[in-house]
Amino acid sequence: MKHLIAPSVLAANFQNLKKDFDMINASEADWYHVDVMDGNFVPNISFGMFIIKQMKAMATKPLDVHLMIVKPEKYIEQFREAGADIITVHYEACPHLHRTIQQIHTTGAKAGVALNPHTPVSVLEDIIEELDLVCLMSVNPGFGGQKFIYQVIPKVRKLKEMIDTRNTKTLIEIDGGVGLQNAEELLKAGANVLVAGSAVFKSENPLDTISRMKGIEGMVI
């Protein structure tokens, strides 16, 4: 199985969201990446359950919902009911992380944990076996279109080593500043899922961009 491409709908055209969803549905992309921001954990506000429910009605591919919010455990069930197939919470926002991961799995969704750029992957050593996905932030979370932080690449390698040592099937997702300029390097380091926002939706030919990203040779998962 090849790596996965997850266009970030934060960069889509919300004046014509249906058109962009139809385009992604027809593309080689695998997931939709949906960033939920509360204006508290990150300095921006995006959208909540109602909009995600509308997205689910338009999407023919899984919704990868990334909760950049405080106290995410209060809303897990609602996001699952709205249509989230993968629910990712931030390590930095969860004092009882193991319990929150169990809560996500109880809903039937896949569970992920996101790490901010300054957070080392070593914090996941005691929970990696429970995770379907780890999202490494390669920008400071809160806004799209930021410059890629290259220090994430050695973090990918360290996380890949941890996953291989523990013999888990945890996927490594990269979120922020991902495009054709760094996709190959990320995949060779061990990434499995590439979140691409501006690189896809601001491209002159989004379908071709997705196809080119999908065609890059990397590690097989």
State how far the Cα of 155 lies from the Cα of 173, in Å rounded to an integer. Answer: 12
Enzyme catalytic residues: 35, 175
State how far the Cα of 143 lies from the Cα of 43, in Å rounded to an integer. Answer: 8
Q: Which residues contact 72 (CB under 8 A, 6 or more apart)?
A: 89, 90, 93, 94, 100
- To 5 degrees, how large is the angle CA 80–CA 15–CA 58? 35
Instruction: Please report where in the chains the tokens 């991902």 appear, as a residue.
Output: 178
